[in-house]
Amino acid sequence: MERLGLSAEPWWVNLLIVIPLAAYGTWRRRGLVLAMPTLLAAAVFGTAFGFVEAAVVVYLRAATGLLTARKPMLFGFGNHTPDLDQQIQLLAKIPVNLHTLEVFRESATMVMLIAVACMAVGTRRERCAIFLWTFAVWDIFYYVGLWATIRWPPSLRASDVLFLIPVPWVSPVWFPILVSALTIVVVILARKARRRLPEA
């Protein structure tokens, strides 16, 4: 069921669209000092990590019965895709200890992305940029991984549970993909802005 059209829930999740815009406003004057090999390495990590995240979701859906083998897809998985109501019902039925484990897994994901940013560059501005860049690539390739394996989402308008911290974030799939795509564009533009600055 695609009951969400233009907005995410809770309401403040919609404010994520401000992040790439605010970042560009902050970075465009001085630009970003990011070497292309660093961006490429972070993108490779984000791509691989996105597929790992997609695989975890495939396992969870298979283990909870939301994924059946009605039609074979990549790796022999089926294409039964839960609607938003089924996802929310599933969340309500998950035992507390598994829900807690999922919250810790989401937290660990953020820690890993932050750690990559800290290892990649030395300044706070560039670390923030690498974190957002890697997060954006990871997010996009998470959905690419899901679609490649189980043909989900069926459309960009399909609703998804994005995070559970501190409450479930729900939005149409196009929204996080848009935020991520804007973030990638912003990092590239800010890096180019740095290259155009005159030598001091």
pLDDT averaged over 10-residue windows placed end to end, the chain, 200 residues = 62 94 92 94 98 91 68 48 57 70 91 96 95 98 95 90 87 96 96 64
Q: What integer pLDDT is reported at residue 22 of this predicted model?
A: 96
The verdict on residue 5 lying in a domain is: no
- Nearby residues of 101 by Cβ (< 8 Å), 6 or more positions away: none
The verdict on residue 199 lying in a domain is: no
Q: What integer pLDDT is reported at residue 29 of this predicted model?
A: 87
The verdict on residue 40 lying in a domain is: yes
In 169-184, which positions are buried (b, 16+ CB within 10 angstroms) versus exposed (e)? bbbbbbbbbebbebbb
Question: What's the domain range around 162?
Answer: 11-193
The verdict on residue 4 lying in a domain is: no
- Nearby residues of 190 by Cβ (< 8 Å), 6 or more positions away: 23, 24, 27, 28, 31, 32, 129
Closest CA to 132 of 92, 169, 187, 83: 187
Q: Do residues 158 and 79 touch, judged by C-beta distance below 8 A? A: no
Q: Give me the number of domains the chain comprises.
A: 1
Closest CA to 148 of 34, 61, 51, 46: 51
The verdict on residue 2 lying in a domain is: no
The verdict on residue 108 lying in a domain is: yes
Whole-prediction pTM value?
0.84
Q: What integer pLDDT is reported at residue 79 of this predicted model?
A: 46
The verdict on residue 111 lying in a domain is: yes
